[in-house]
Amino acid sequence: MRTPQLFSGVIGMCFALAAAASPASQASAQEAKKPNIVFIMADDLGNSDLGYRGGKVVTPNIDKLAMNGVRLESFYGEPVCTPSRAALMTGRYPMRYGLQTLVIFPSHTYGLALDEKTLPQALKEAGYKTLMTGKWHLGHADRKFWPQNRGFDYFYGNVTGEVDYFTRERGGIIDWQRNGKFLKEKGYYTDLIGDDAVKLIDQQDGKQPFFLYFASLAPHAPYQAPESAMEKYKNVPEKMRRSYFGMITELDLQIGRIVAELEKKGLRDNTIILFASDNGGATNGLFAEGARSDEERGEVQGGIKMDEKPPANNAPFSGGKGSLKEGGVRVPAFVNWPAKLKPRVANEPLHMVDVMPTLLALAGGKGSPDHPFDGRDMWKTLSEGAPSPNDDILINVEAFRGAVRKGDWKLIDIALLPGKTMLFNLAKDPGETTNVAAENPEIAHDLEARLLQYAKEKKPSLWIKAQPAFVGAQGKTIFDPDFDIDDDGLPHEKVVLPQ
């Protein structure tokens, strides 16, 4: 006859335990709602080289993600690698902290300003595991600039710009590390970071959200690909073009492996995948410098002469890497999250700086109050087709040139004598063939005023400040002075003996 009392007691105990566990359970459930984030960065990818964009390269994995996601047809990076990656990592225009000009050369000792709060730092504060494989290029000469000291829990890759794809060598030094320990490994660059990314995903248990930054070097020069990849393009007569195509195919293969691993682990539905190139493809030998001959190393495999044309195709845009024209800054990009986003095309102007505020809004993270974002949350543009959250987009501003876009209008100002102002209607003239500044003085004046205001806010270029010492040369690679270089080219920490 005591069964009802016993039953009642058990029920009461269950409610008591549930109540006691409630705060932790609620917190755990809230964490589970935060999406995993995978950002895939291609390097110097031509606008028209992917399969879904009508290119000749076979890219089934990228194509599937793009066609089943939101294709960003007016998405902007910066003219070159370092500024674009800085924009992603900060949500702020590179001119805010002096990284607006060219890239960090091997001989430079500066990096991304340490008072800038980075995307991985903000996500880490929001409860994320932060992981990176691939190319950093935001400071290498001091460990304080390295990824694992800028918010990443884990880093595997290179900290300078381009390296040899098979040896990871640059200027006689092997730039390849895992969490600060330099490595000498066999293998092809893209395969190695793909292997590592898959292992990292396999280690996730679904309880803690993660951010994976998969920063490919491909298809940046030097143009090197495994023979197996080049064999797919044996009907392409030019070896450089076969290599370039093979490099993109290898990247596509690794992206397919990453998606497959997410599906295998049951993480795909709660993972948002973003893809973008840092800038447009190189169309001038000057901006394919990693492939040129190097006096210290001899002829580099995959080399290109200054007067040769690199293989990237940015059609229908003019210009390429290093240029303010659309071919240099308007890049292939898309966002894929089947659980939340329906396939569509977004033609609204968006910029790399919009990524960080968007992801932090989804993740429950915060930026730095004293370093306000230039970017805006673009989620409604992605999910609902709303207009761009940006009133205008600063493409870049330097001491000698700048460009800004507002709506369909884009202005490029060249300050070098004799000076030139160019205005283009991108809706009618995406190839920027006709300067219509004279016919539209009010629009030109408005955009010039906007560009001038940005120029007043910029900090001095760290590249310009550093470069006179090198008279145009990139110089020898400089690592942290606490490291020496072994005979095999691997940096190692100095051992300071007691006096």
Q: Which of 480, 495, 498, 484 is nearest to 111 (CA)?
A: 480
* Active-site choice (81, 108, 140, 220): 81
Residue count of the chain: 499
HEC assignment per residue over 180-246: CEECCCCCCHHHHHHHHHHHHHHCCCCCCCEEEEEECCCCCCCCCCCHHHHHCCCCCCCHHHHHHHH
Helix (H) or strand (E) holding 271, with range, is strand 271-277
User: Which amino acid is it at 373?
Assistant: F
* Active-site choice (108, 137, 140, 351): 137
- Say if residue 251 is exposed, middle or buried (CB neighbours under 10 Å; 0-12, 13-18, 19+): buried
**Does the active-site annotation cover 137?**
yes
Q: Residue 254 and residue 158: Cα distance in Å, rounded?
A: 18
Q: Residue 499 and residue 128: Cα distance in Å, rounded?
A: 44
Contact 273, 340 (CB under 8 A): no
Q: To 10 degrees, the CA torsion angle through 39, 215, 189, 305?
A: 130
User: Which amino acid is it at 349?
Assistant: P
Q: Which pair of structure tokens corresponds to residue 220?
A: 């940046």
Q: Which of 413, 394, 411 is nearest to 457 (CA)?
A: 394
Q: Taking phi first (over 0 means left), then psi (-120 to 50 degrees means alpha), and beta for anything else, what does residue 180 get?
A: left
Pairing of strands 75-76, 350-351: parallel
Q: What are phi and psi of 234, to 5 degrees?
A: -65, -20
Q: Which pair of structure tokens corresponds to residue 91?
A: 């949500």
Q: At what angle do helices 60-67 and 239-264 cross, to 10 degrees?
A: 60
Q: Which of 374, 370, 340, 369 is nearest to 356 (CA)?
A: 374
Number of H helices, E strands in the chain: 12, 20
Q: Which of 389, 370, 366, 368 is nearest to 378 (CA)?
A: 389
Q: Residue 366 and residue 372: Cα distance in Å, rounded?
A: 11
Residues annotated catalytic, as ranges = 81, 137
